[in-house]
Amino acid sequence: MEPVKVALVGIGGMGGSHFRNIIENEMYQLVGVCDIGLHRKDVQERRKIAKDKGIPFFRDYKAMYRKVDCEAVFVAAPHHWHARMTIDALKKGCHVFTEKPPAGSTADVMKMIAAQKKAGKLVAVGFNPSASPAVQAVKRHIANGDLGTIKQVTLAILWWRENSYYRRAKWVGRMKIDGVDCSDGCMCNQGSHGIFQALYLASEKKHPSLSAPSDIEANLYRFHTASQFEAEDMACVRATLDGKKGKKLLAYITTDIKDKEDFCDIIGTKGRIRVGEPHIILNDGSKITVKQEEGVPSKQQNFALAIRGEAELYCPLEEGAKQVLLTDGAYASLKRKVKVAPWGALEDGCAALMRAVEQRCLISELKDKPDWA
């Protein structure tokens, strides 16, 4: 296929991964890169690589959009830039691949969807599980009816971050920055891939459909003490899915806990599975082997194939927006207020979270809930 001419906004952090994938991929021709972080060693190194390859470098993404002839744009900037950079690229007539989360608020993601419809271009959201052979295999079984009607999905994203993590850049851990929604808590950052996966597998419809959340209830806490940290580092969220009272998502997400395993459990009327395990366990005790496909294209490859009309996007914007609907709904349920919990109670908080996981409830519903909850 003819290579897709692409420009990249952001070559530090996650942008560095896209930079490597694009320049090493015959499906793409990188024609421009942009970053403002020239103080960063990784940005300096990639800028030099780009220069050596004759790829122009810009500090202003709008200048790059004006001067570079490209079919598509990759957006790998901080959360609060995703919406405006995507909308400006669509106005230029480009397809867009944006990093997760697609935006920091429902309002911003709806503006993106409106701009996409007006432009008639593709917008992909880079959720990692969308390109996972294991997740894709489970989705095929669910769409085939092997688990029956999905009744409950339980997601646990159990990470640890030092206080220094929340001091690494001025946007990190912020709810708003420069008047724009950022929502950089554990839900939109560490948990966003998992939330995508849970909503994707909750839907019995074929790829790329996600379930839509509603009636969202949440406990949101902040233990870390970094002065700029405004968002949550522990979240318990419960939502109704697809408007069906008997269909629930339970999500437990934190950056406060060490040495725990993430998981995603799917329960249907016919059976259950934990994502990554080799079998679906049916209600009668029998098993269905989950068969993964080999040679699954990466999310970057899928985007190029979709532009050329040779594949369906792994995660189109309208589906990926449902992750934002869940996280923004969790904030809205608490009037956008995150409860501050004492750093000295962190061990107690993690124990309470794990009891809530075991009981499949919110921390606030525990009979022995902590005083700070």
Q: How confident is the model at residue 213 (pLDDT cuts 50, 70, 90)?
A: very high
CA 216 to chain centre: 18
Q: Please check whether residue 89 is in contact with residue 5, taking contact to mean a CB–CB distance below 8 angstroms.
A: no
Average pLDDT for the chain: 97
Q: What is the pLDDT of residues 159-205, one digit of tens each?
A: 999 999 999 999 999 999 999 999 999 999 999 999 999 999 999 99
Q: By percentage, how much of the chain surpasses pLDDT 90?
A: 98
The model's pTM: 0.97
Using CA atoms, how far residue 330 sits from 1, 232, 239, 271, 325, in Å, is 43, 11, 9, 29, 8
Residues in contact with 330: Cβ distance below 8 Å, sequence separation at least 6, in sequence order = 187, 216, 218, 220, 235, 237
Q: Phi and psi of 83, rounded to 5°?
A: -65, -50
Give the total residue count for the chain: 373
Half-sphere exposure of 46 (CA within 13 A, CB side): 30
Question: Which contiguous run of DSSP H or E holds residue 326?
Answer: helix 317-333
The whole-number average pLDDT for the span 326-350 is 96
Q: How confident is the model at residue 206 (pLDDT cuts 50, 70, 90)?
A: very high
225-230 long-range contacts (CB < 8 A, ≥24 apart) are: 225/163, 225/343, 226/163, 226/164, 226/165, 226/166, 226/167, 226/173, 228/166, 228/167, 228/170, 228/172, 228/173, 228/174, 229/166, 229/172, 229/173, 229/174, 230/173, 230/174, 230/175, 230/176, 230/338
Which pLDDT score is estimated for 1?
86
The whole-number average pLDDT for the span 300-326 is 98
Which pLDDT score is estimated for 200?
98
Q: Is 267 exposed, middle or buried (0-12, 13-18, 19+ CB in 10 A)?
A: middle
The whole-number average pLDDT for the span 108-136 is 98
Pairing of strands 123-125, 213-222: unpaired
Q: Phi and psi of 149, rounded to 5°?
A: -80, 130
- Distance separating alpha carbons of residues 258 and 280, to the nearest angstrom: 29
Q: What is the pLDDT of residues 226-274, one digit of tens each?
A: 999 999 999 999 999 999 999 999 999 999 999 999 999 999 999 999 9
CA 34 to chain centre: 23
Q: How confident is the model at residue 7 (pLDDT cuts 50, 70, 90)?
A: very high
Q: What is the pLDDT of residues 343-354, one digit of tens each?
A: 999 999 999 999
- Distance separating alpha carbons of residues 95 and 31, to the nearest angstrom: 15
- Distance separating alpha carbons of residues 159 and 193, to the nearest angstrom: 13
Question: Which single residue is written with the structure tokens 């079919």?
Answer: 71
Q: What is the pLDDT of residues 45-61, one digit of tens each?
A: 999 999 999 999 999 99
Q: If DSSP codes are grouped into helix, strand and coil, which group holds residue 311?
A: coil
Residues in contact with 334: Cβ distance below 8 Å, sequence separation at least 6, in sequence order = 218, 220
